[in-house]
Amino acid sequence: MRILGAPQGGRIMTAIRRIRIAAFIILLWGLMPNRAAASGRATQDAPNANPSPSDADQGKQTFEARCSTCHGLDGGGAMGPNIQGIPMRLGAAAVADVIKNGMSGGMPAFAGQLDASQIQQVIAYLLTLTHKDSGTVTGDAAKGKEVYDGSGCATCHIISGQGSGAGPELTKVGQLRGPGYLKTTLLYPGSDLPQARVFLETGGLLDYMFVHIVTRDGHTFDGTRVTEDSFRIVIKDASGQFHSFQKSELREFNKEPGKSVMPSFKGKLSDTQIEDLVAYLASLKGDQ
């Protein structure tokens, strides 16, 4: 069998982009919902910063009447994609534009059917459907920054332009993720992955899926799924390097939810250090 576009000779290992390899400690992998956020797009489109609970309630009613047949009652996807928390990823203005004008893949235009305030209410509701609200902050954010700086986190994460980008950007992780979720990920990375890579009809594939690959000639690769289709898989290893494979040419190809290229900090940092680090991360709102 020959698949068009597949180079001959079995294994394909293409470095799409080389990222500086500075260290091997990968911190906080999995805290960002998707790569769109990491690209920094639409950072100026912060949604209504403090939508009132009644906005979200009104938005819930509108969502269930107008949106849920395609996106599911919890926004987790049905015929349309998972859109939980999507205003944080794309920006409220971009989401409002999509609601008004529709988009490729089946999203109809709601201009003339929903007014501007109804659209803002729907956006307020979508913001409640994330991992954002779990837990409370008990630590000291200033001390947490010292933990962050002293633990090598910046070798894999970028905050406000500082650090390396093998892992997800954390500049506004405090807007995207709640303290409970942040703590869980520090202790048990990969245990509660967000759904992000979406297809038209499903609830979305998990982002940051850990993948173990052995090629036919015996080379082993562990990394995070970057993208996948029915024929190919691209992973990013712990150093941030991308590797692309034809699935049909692999000896082993295992997805291992629950695992992560980010190490657990359980036992490596004290409980107090963890709480302080959580407080610091929860304080990151992207406005530095």
Partner 1 sequence: MKIFPCALILSGLLACNPATSVAQGVSYDRILHSQSEPQSWLTYGGSYSSQQYSSLKQINRENISNLKVAWIYQPSKAVSNLEASPIVADGVMYITEPPSTVTALDVRTGLRLWSWSPILPEHVVSIGLYATSRGVAILGDTVFIGTADSHLVALDAKTGAVRWNVHVADNAMGYAMTGPPLAIKDEVIIGSAGSEAAVRGFLDAYDAKTGKRLWRFWTTPRPGEPGAETWGVGASESAGATTWNNGSYDPELNLVYWGTGNPAPDFNDDERPGDNLYTCSVIALDADTGQLKWYFQFSPHEDHDWDSDEPAVLFNSTIDGKPRKLLGFANRNGFYYVLDRVTGKFIAGQPFVKETWAKGLDANGRPIPEPNQEPTLGAGTLVYPSITGGVDWTSPSYSPQTGLFYVSVHETGAYFIKGQGKIEPGPPKGIVGGGGIRALAGEQSYGAIRALEATTGKLRWQFKLLAPAWVPVLTTAGGLVFSGSDEGNFFALDASSGKPLWQFYMGHAARSNPISYEVDGKQYIFETAGNAYIAFTLP
Tell me the closest approach of the beta carbon of residue 106 to partner 1, in angstroms.
5
Site for partner 1 in 157-176 (CB under 8 A): none
- Does residue 191 touch partner 1 according to CB under 8 A? no
Tell me the closest approach of the beta carbon of residue 30 to partner 1, in angstroms.
15
Return d(Cα 275, Cα 143) in angstroms, integer: 10
First-last CA distance in the chain = 54
Tell me the closest approach of the beta carbon of residue 212 to partner 1, in angstroms.
15
Nearest to 128 by CA among 183, 54, 192, 203: 54
Name the residue nearer to partner 1 (CB basis): 112 or 218: 112
Site for partner 1 in 79-108 (CB under 8 A): 79, 82, 102-108
Name the residue nearer to partner 1 (CB basis): 9 or 112: 112
Name the residue nearer to partner 1 (CB basis): 120 or 195: 195
Tell me the closest approach of the beta carbon of residue 84 to partner 1, in angstroms.
11
Name the residue nearer to partner 1 (CB basis): 82 or 120: 82
Return the C-alpha torsion angle 60, 48, 37, 209, nearest 10: -30
- Does residue 239 touch partner 1 according to CB under 8 A? no
Tell me the closest approach of the beta carbon of residue 234 to partner 1, in angstroms.
12
Name the residue nearer to partner 1 (CB basis): 195 or 215: 195
Judged by DSSP in three states, 144 sits in: helix
Pair 171, 288: CB distance under 8 Å? yes
Show the binding pattern over residues 7-26: x = contacts partner 1 (CB under 8 A), - = does not.
--------------------
- Does residue 57 touch partner 1 according to CB under 8 A? no
* Binds partner 1 by CB under 8 A, chosen from 7, 9, 50, 65: 65
Return d(Cα 182, Cα 279) in angstroms, integer: 9
Q: Can you give the C-alpha Rg of the chain in angstroms?
A: 20
Show the binding pattern over residues 193-222: x = contacts partner 1 (CB under 8 A), - = does not.
--x-xxxxxxxxxx--x-------------
Contacts of 73 (CB under 8 A, 6+ apart): 64
- Does residue 76 touch partner 1 according to CB under 8 A? yes
Long-range CB contacts (< 8 A, 24+ apart) of 214-218?
214/250, 214/251, 214/252, 215/10, 215/11, 215/13, 215/245, 215/249, 215/250, 215/251, 216/10, 216/11, 216/249, 216/250, 216/251, 217/10, 217/11, 218/251
The region of 24-32, 76-84, 142-150, 165-173 touching partner 1 under the rule CB under 8 A is: 76-84
Size of the site for partner 1 (CB under 8 A): 49
**How many Cα atoms within 13 Å fall on the side-chain side of residue 38?**
18
- Does residue 244 touch partner 1 according to CB under 8 A? no
Residue 259: Cβ within 10 Å count: 17
Backbone CA torsion sign across 123, 124, 125, 128: positive
Nearest to 288 by CA among 210, 192, 173, 130: 173
Q: Which residues bind partner 1 (CB under 8 A)?
A: 1-5, 64-66, 68-69, 72-74, 76-79, 82, 102-109, 111-113, 195, 197-206, 209, 228-232, 248, 255, 257
